[in-house]
Structure 1
């Protein structure tokens, strides 16, 4: 369990590590939750903020192609948005080039700040 950086709420999000590789990052952004969520929901703009991600293109409402250069070598694939709760959460999984899933959650904080938690497996 963890205590939110923005409140005294206890979140049962942290569990014991699994055998799978996983990453988790939390940051507090100085912007209201609706603005932060709107930026994240424009998935084609993510390469501006995630350097190894070179290109994201919309295929349809829930599928996107991507080009990723995590270690200097290019990888292409497709991911599928499996959950989208406006202002709260976006979850996805890849459907090509191995299996990866992720979720980004948005928690409003006081005075126009937003706690953003990103988990990737």
Structure 2
């Protein structure tokens, strides 16, 4: 099952891409995401707020082309998925971001519709939050923008 979302952002593509790749700062954009831990250049562990306790998911970076495309996958979770986020420079300092994910529910089809609705809501909210942050700091150097969000400098 697929989830897709897109948004146009009033900020240059390099800034939007840098915001997206600041993984430790993603919990500021994605509400149910509590924490992202970088294990290596290609492996991160994402901790999601769930009841009754948080869920930890290993997310693998498959490929990244600076300012163009990022591909991720989750293999070990109960519901594996693959995701691609593309960054398109538009006229002026605008960027179009397109996020697509494919989810494999296997025998758990009974929860698939509910999960897809949640994944779509989280995708849309994260894209809007990224746009708001990138547009608010579009004229500031990236280092200063990271300081404003409390994200680690890179």
Q: Same fold judged by TM-score > 0.5?
A: yes
Aligned Cα root-mean-square deviation (Å): 1.2
Question: Are 2:60 and 1:80 aligned?
Answer: yes
Q: For residue 44 of structure 1, report the CA deviation from its aligned partner.
A: 1.2
Shift of 1:78: 0.6
Match of 1:15 in 2: none
Normalising to structure 2: TM-score of the pair? 0.62
Partners of 1:55 and 1:79 in 2: how far apart?
12
Structure 1: distance between partners of 2:3 and 2:72: 15
How is 1:31-42 mapped onto 2 (pairs within 5 angstroms)? 31-42=11-22
- Aligned equivalents of 1:42, 1:32: Cα separation in 2: 16
Q: Higher helix share goes to which structure?
A: 2
Question: 2:100 — aligned with what?
Answer: 119
Q: Aligned-pair distance for 1:54?
A: 1.1
- Return the TM-score normalized by structure 1: 0.78
Question: How many aligned residue pairs are there?
Answer: 100
- SS for the counterpart of 2:92 is helix
Which structure 2 residues correspond to residues 1-121 of structure 1 after superposition, within 5 A? Answer: 21-69=1-49, 72-73=51-52, 74-98=54-78, 99-121=80-102
| Structure 1 unpaired stretches of 5+ | 1-20
Q: Relative CO higher for 1 or 2, CA cutoff 8 Å, sep ≥ 6?
A: 2
